[in-house]
Amino acid sequence: MPTYSIKMRASKSGKHVSGAERILPQQDISRAVSALSERALHHGLGRADFINVKIEEIQPGELQYLEALPVSARPAATVEGSYAIMRQILGELGLAAQADKLVALLRSVHPMRGAVLYDLATDRCIEPDHQRGIRVTYMDAESASATGSCKNHFREAVVLATKVVHAPGVIAELCMSDDPEYVTGYISSLRHGYVRLTPLKEVGNPHGGRIFIFDSRLADAADAINYLEKQRVLVRGLPPERPLNADPQQIFAEELARLKEKSLYRSMRTIDSPQSKYVKMRGRSVLLLASNSYLDLADDERVKQAAAQAALAWGAGSGGSRLTTGNTALHEQLENKLAQFKSTEAALLFNTGYMANVGIISALCDSESVIFSDEYNHASIIDGCRLSKARVVVYKHNDMRDLEKKLQTTAYRKGLIVSDAVFSMDGDIVDLPRLTALGKQYHVLTMIDEAHATGVIGATGKGTVEYYDYACVPDIIMGTLSKALGAEGGFACASKTIIEYLKNKARSFIFATSQAPATLAAALKALEILEAEPRRAQRLQHNVEYFLRCLHDAGVKAESPTAIVPIVIGNEAAALKVADELLQQGCLIPAIRYPTVAKGTARLRVALMSSHTEAELKRTAQLIAAAMKKYAGKQN
Ligand SMILES: *Cc1c(COP(=O)(O)O)cnc(C)c1O
């Protein structure tokens, strides 16, 4: 049975979109052509408008069979680490003297479609056309199925590398993909096989290159080029998709290494005491200016007693979801209390604020909805939007004109406007009067997330609606029991209709075991205290004003109408240094950096408590000013 080479090149408006080649027995040709043209017609880069398929018979003696190179992986923690391994392998190939030069060449080589042919004997790049480079063709994996229409980059790479190192005079190949998302490259040689190296560059870097290391003392360049471009090769015994010796956890270790390299690796610090204004860390007592327990209720004796009593009276866990066996009188009591506190008809508990946002938004919206979402909204809102499958239209931060423009220019059958009430990284307050007016005018639901508003803003700490003197009310108020209320859990406050709908549709409500008795009792007690002692919220509001005054007196710029006071430093490294210095001085104030906030707007994020004293706040402001003078220069 004769064998054929099939080559497909597809373009759209003159630009290359897809290319592939196969070497197959005659009987598989038509199926392969059909699969290849399907691929060109449904390509991610666009539907091809020109497809060129070339089919050539291969004479029996023309086809060379090669065993695939063995594949191994040498991941490193850093890009430089990968290049150190590349240099080491080059050294073992007797190229120690040229290793630095070759690595530099790979990292700087001109973008071209083909490869550089580097001659060791003359220390020169000798490919005849520097723009085009050397293009290796006429090769395939022997067992590749005729109809595999999905491109398999790994197999194609091993086939190419196997052919290249068999070319006369070629000693090794270095390769780095120009895909900005793909940071794995390889070095291949007959001696070491195909060695995957990762990371060879940072994610997002579009640089790529390919170098054939050749020695003109061993073979004629023309013979090497002729082999690479013309010799028909079938590669046998390809390894499976991922090399057999790869640990399935390897890709995660690689990603962690990349995070570390970009200073985006996250780790936790340990606290050895209850959450209050002073906490114990590594045996030291530090002043906490970063807690969400704004009213210092997480460590309040009465709240703790209520939780303990409830655990003894009601047990440790609830034993079921609300719709099965996990609905107790405590759940209903807390919901009634929340509805009354937020002045709505009804309320519904969720296990966390995160689950509340995800559950509410994905229940109220579907693929026929459009969600208008503030660009600074919390991650749990973003996740709820994603889960809903609705179209999401992001509007400029708290910019009601931009929101209105988007409401006017977007077609929708069902709509929802959703916003943080107090924005968690900037501490500013949503323009609720305009937002709810727009909701009414354009017939869309409105929802706010009061995670940092409850217990914090409004004359008695009831939140955003109170802050605006009850002049405007959104359809859904979402909140959490985990911040000013010092307990745990999320909630929705809304009309009876919405709440009944959520009970029937919100999956994070339906499919989770309900909150534990101790948590519910703690939240109930905290709400009771918040209402009975409005001076707590007022004291917090006073602390914000006082602290801002102290900062201004010390020459530090900051503004905020809420308990979250961002102090923008700008430079990421400087922000970290300032935060470290403050911790040395006994104040825990975290530095917040990209990607949580935009690049170049790194900041200290201070969160105040009602229990901080003026003396503590004044001293903190002075420490901040001093640390910033030392490490951050001028604030812009
Ligand atoms: C903390 C937070 C949440 C999540 O609440 P949890 O109860 O901690 O899950 C939701 N939205 C915003 C704005 C938050 O800050």
* 570 and 507 part of one domain: no
Closest atom of ligand 1 to CA, residue 423: 13
Residue type, 378: H
- Under 8 Å between Cβ of 466 and 452: no
* 361 and 432 part of one domain: yes
542-571 pLDDT, tens digit per residue, is 999 999 999 999 999 999 999 999 999 999
Closest atom of ligand 1 to CA, residue 380: 10
The residue among 324 and 39 whose pLDDT is bigger is: 324
Active site residues: 424, 452, 483
Retrieve residue 565's tokens: 């006071």
Strand partners of residue 19? 9
CA distance 107 to 80: 12
Radius of gyration of the chain, Cα coordinates, nearest whole angstrom: 32
- Residues found in the chain: 636
Query: Which residues contact residue 594 at a Cβ distance below 8 angstroms, ignoring those fewer than 6 apart?
Result: 572, 600, 602
Burial of 527 (0-12, 13-18, 19+ CB in 10 A): buried
Distance 452 CA to ligand 1 centre (A): 8
* 213 and 148 part of one domain: yes
Distance 477 CA to ligand 1 centre (A): 13
Distance 449 CA to ligand 1 centre (A): 8
Helix then strand then coil, % of the chain, to nearest 5: 35, 25, 40
Strand partners of residue 595? none
CB of 541 shorter than 6 A to ligand 1: no
371-384 pLDDT, tens digit per residue, is 999 999 999 999 99
Distance 410 CA to ligand 1 centre (A): 29
CB of 424 shorter than 6 A to ligand 1: yes
Residue identifier of the C-alpha nearest atom 8 of ligand 1: 353
Closest atom of ligand 1 to CA, residue 490: 7
273: in domain: no
Retrieve residue 547's tokens: 């602290």
CB of 515 shorter than 6 A to ligand 1: no
Best mutation site among 352, 361, 378 for ligand 1 pocket (most ligand atoms within 8 Å of CB): 378
521-549 pLDDT, tens digit per residue, is 999 999 999 999 999 999 999 999 999 99
Residue type, 507: R
Residue identifier of the C-alpha nearest atom 1 of ligand 1: 451
pLDDT at 440 over 90: yes
Best mutation site among 293, 351, 419, 480 for ligand 1 pocket (most ligand atoms within 8 Å of CB): 480
CB of 380 shorter than 6 A to ligand 1: yes
515: in domain: yes
CA distance 212 to 234: 20
Residue identifier of the C-alpha nearest atom 7 of ligand 1: 353
CB of 415 shorter than 6 A to ligand 1: no
126-176 pLDDT, tens digit per residue, is 999 988 899 999 999 987 665 554 457 788 899 999 999 999 999 999 999
Closest atom of ligand 1 to CA, residue 481: 7
Best mutation site among 294, 420, 449, 450 for ligand 1 pocket (most ligand atoms within 8 Å of CB): 449
pLDDT classification of 357: cutoffs 50, 70, 90:
very high
Final residue of a domain: which of 39, 61, 83? 61
- Under 8 Å between Cβ of 453 and 294: no
Total Cβ atoms within 10 A of residue 559: 13
CB of 452 shorter than 6 A to ligand 1: yes
Query: Which residues contact residue 219 at a Cβ distance below 8 angstroms, ignoring those fewer than 6 apart?
Result: 168, 169
Total Cβ atoms within 10 A of residue 178: 14
Q: Strand 63-67's sheet: what is its strand order? A: 63-67, 232-236, 139-141
Phi-psi sector, 179: left (phi>0), alpha (psi -120 to 50), beta? beta
255: in domain: no
254: in domain: no
CB of 420 shorter than 6 A to ligand 1: yes
Total Cβ atoms within 10 A of residue 241: 9
CA distance 531 to 463: 12
Closest atom of ligand 1 to CA, residue 489: 7
CB of 490 shorter than 6 A to ligand 1: yes
**CATH number of the domain encompassing residue 622:** 3.90.1150.10
Retrieve residue 222's tokens: 């023309």
Final residue of a domain: which of 473, 508, 532? 532
Distance 205 CA to ligand 1 centre (A): 34
Distance 353 CA to ligand 1 centre (A): 5
pLDDT classification of 246: cutoffs 50, 70, 90:
low
259: in domain: no
* pLDDT of 148: 53
**CATH number of the domain encompassing residue 430:** 3.40.640.10
* pLDDT of 43: 77
* 462 and 446 part of one domain: yes
Retrieve residue 560's tokens: 């905020």
Distance 351 CA to ligand 1 centre (A): 11
CA distance 153 to 274: 53
* pLDDT of 112: 62
264: in domain: no
Q: Which residue has the tokens 């995670």?
A: 451
Element (DSSP H or E) covering residue 395: strand 391-395
- Sort strands 124-125 and 490-494 into parallel, antiparallel or unpaired: unpaired
CB of 17 shorter than 6 A to ligand 1: no
pLDDT classification of 319: cutoffs 50, 70, 90:
very high
CB of 419 shorter than 6 A to ligand 1: no
Strand partners of residue 25? 3
How far CA 445 is from CA of 66, 143, 343, 377, in Å, comes to 65, 57, 18, 17
Burial of 431 (0-12, 13-18, 19+ CB in 10 A): middle
Best mutation site among 482, 488, 519 for ligand 1 pocket (most ligand atoms within 8 Å of CB): 482
Retrieve residue 25's tokens: 């027995």
CB of 18 shorter than 6 A to ligand 1: no
* pLDDT of 149: 42
* 322 and 461 part of one domain: yes
* pLDDT of 433: 98
Kindly write down the DSSP assignment for every residue of 32-75, as one continuous string. HHHHHHHHHHT-TT---SEEEEEEEEE-GGGEEEEEPPPEEEEE
Closest atom of ligand 1 to CA, residue 354: 9
- Under 8 Å between Cβ of 144 and 240: no
- Under 8 Å between Cβ of 151 and 246: no
3-state secondary structure of 168: coil
CA distance 435 to 472: 9
Alpha helices in 285-352 (DSSP H): 301-314, 329-341
Number of H helices, E strands in the chain: 19, 26
- Under 8 Å between Cβ of 501 and 462: no
Distance 523 CA to ligand 1 centre (A): 15
Phi-psi sector, 240: left (phi>0), alpha (psi -120 to 50), beta? beta
Closest atom of ligand 1 to CA, residue 378: 13
316: in domain: yes
CA distance 347 to 369: 24
365-369-374-377 Cα dihedral, nearest 10 degrees? 30
- Under 8 Å between Cβ of 457 and 467: yes
Number of domains in the chain: 4
* 620 and 518 part of one domain: no
CA distance 544 to 569: 19
Q: Which of 299, 278, 295, 342 is CA-nearest to residue 537?
A: 295
456-500 pLDDT, tens digit per residue, is 999 999 999 999 999 999 999 999 999 999 999 999 999 999 999
Residue type, 610: S
* 81 and 219 part of one domain: yes
Residue type, 209: G
270: in domain: no
Residue type, 537: A
Q: Which of 533, 490, 461, 470 is CA-nearest to residue 335?
A: 490
* pLDDT of 261: 78
What range does the domain containing 32 cover? 3-61
* 474 and 460 part of one domain: yes
* 77 and 53 part of one domain: no
Best mutation site among 354, 397, 398, 425 for ligand 1 pocket (most ligand atoms within 8 Å of CB): 354
Angle between helices 400-409 and 432-442 (to 10 degrees): 10
CA distance 280 to 262: 30
Distance 380 CA to ligand 1 centre (A): 7
Lowest mean pLDDT among 5-14, 312-321, 462-471: 5-14
| Residue-averaged pLDDT of the chain | 93
In SS3 terms, 487-508 reads as CCCEEEEECHHHHHHHHHHCHH
CB of 354 shorter than 6 A to ligand 1: yes
* 145 and 68 part of one domain: yes
* 339 and 215 part of one domain: no
How far CA 386 is from CA of 218, 363, 367, 397, 430, in Å, comes to 59, 12, 10, 19, 22
- Under 8 Å between Cβ of 179 and 208: yes
pLDDT classification of 241: cutoffs 50, 70, 90:
low
CB of 357 shorter than 6 A to ligand 1: yes
Distance 451 CA to ligand 1 centre (A): 5
Residue identifier of the C-alpha nearest atom 14 of ligand 1: 451
* pLDDT of 151: 59
Retrieve residue 477's tokens: 């108020």
Distance 263 CA to ligand 1 centre (A): 25
**Side-chain half-sphere exposure of 433, counting CA atoms within 13 A:** 6
CB of 519 shorter than 6 A to ligand 1: no
Angle between helices 496-505 and 353-364 (to 10 degrees): 100
Query: Which residues contact residue 44 at a Cβ distance below 8 angstroms, ignoring those fewer than 6 apart?
Result: none
Retrieve residue 469's tokens: 């003197």
Final residue of a domain: which of 483, 502, 532? 532
* 308 and 429 part of one domain: yes
Best mutation site among 424, 447, 488, 605 for ligand 1 pocket (most ligand atoms within 8 Å of CB): 424
